[in-house]
Structure 1
């Protein structure tokens, strides 16, 4: 989010509405992993397995979502594999929003994935937090 104000200097041409929609996606996507991280942190017995577990899930999910580069640039087998990762939908939706496309099927899928993911993650995080007595 800190790079968005500097992005026009580097060539970003996105409508303000697209930036707002993209920020909404980022905000909801931040809530979900935060909730799951708290749940995992309260579940593991010692701190040592926490980092490998988080990185073992987060890194492949981030790379296969197409966050760094569009998956259309990847080999066909990797592009096909990336469709299994649910985070690809919101990443593609944010790309649509930054292009000014708000009513596409990609946008709908992205919104649905983000909302469902956030609701499930907050539900799991809340249950684990309550069980821990914190």
Structure 2
């Protein structure tokens, strides 16, 4: 007589086990990135294109020197790196689902929460490294960030990117039977979120309906906070509002991601 094992009936690890499992999953997910660092460089091509072509154009429109324009523009591009970098991460999990690797992980004696947490925490590492490289390149053209502000800004970016990555993983799981759904939802949300955040152009002179939509876009608060922090302004309300947006997105992404992972079959 044969018996079948329901993947959802696998015992969950103890709290201490969840921590160990999370670290193991984190290391597993980080190894391919460390073995192939060129993938980090190639993923910077799009932000660098905006920096190289849109930055000088913005300076010409405002009549500012390129260095002054970069003080406003580069922090927004750092947020763009987080948006585009983490929005794609769910495709990796979707590929594992299609190939059957994810199913084997589900029946392993590993906490399902750790399967999501380890992946989400891993997103912080390439995101911070990419941001540092981007800032270093911009510094060659006159960008001068405040180092303390930059450190705080990178922490916010890491938390925000962790949440976005968790949402992307959840979308990958939901799209396991129809992979087109992942790309449709991703592309539908990606560019409106970017354009309505003010990371490329200021929204103050835009139509009222765009300003209203921008107010409910968490990226707007992140962009404003990063601009203040990278320019050494810590007392602006935009800073704590951006911090709050990062925490909310991070917590919401982790919550949704863990619930989706636990229901994954």
Given the two structures, how large is their TM-score scaled by the length of structure 1? Answer: 0.90
Deviation string for 1:45-84 (max 9, x for gaps)?
A: 2101111101111211111111223323x42423343122
> Is 1:128 the counterpart of 2:242 in the alignment?
no
Question: How far 1:25 sits from its partner (Å)?
Answer: 2.0
Distance in structure 2 (CA, Å) of the matches to 1:70 and 1:115:
24
Equivalence for 2:137: 6
Distance in structure 2 (CA, Å) of the matches to 1:102 and 1:115:
17
Question: How far 1:96 sits from its partner (Å)?
Answer: 0.5
Is 21-30 or 33-42 further displaced after alignment?
21-30
> Is 1:68 the counterpart of 2:200 in the alignment?
yes
- Unpaired runs of 5+ residues, structure 1, are none
Equivalence for 1:17: 148
> Is 1:100 the counterpart of 2:232 in the alignment?
yes
Equivalent position to 2:242, from 80, 100, 110: 110
Instruction: Compare CA radii of gyration and give the structure with the larger one.
Output: 2
Distance in structure 1 (CA, Å) of the matches to 2:158 and 2:200:
18
Equivalence for 2:26: none
- Unpaired runs of 5+ residues, structure 2, are 1-130
Matches within 5 A, 1:19-98: 19-44=150-175, 45-72=177-204, 74-77=205-208, 78-98=210-230
Given the two structures, how large is their TM-score scaled by the length of structure 2? Answer: 0.47
Verify the 8 A CA contact 2:164 2:249 in the aligned structure 1: no
- Kindly tell me the number of residue pairs found equivalent between the two proteins: 132
Aligned-CA RMSD value: 1.5
Could you say what secondary structure the match of 2:222 adopts?
Answer: helix
Instruction: Give runs of ≥4 in structure 1 deviating > 3 Å.
Output: none
Question: How far 1:118 sits from its partner (Å)?
Answer: 0.4
Could you say what secondary structure the match of 1:70 adopts?
Answer: coil
Question: How far 1:26 sits from its partner (Å)?
Answer: 1.7
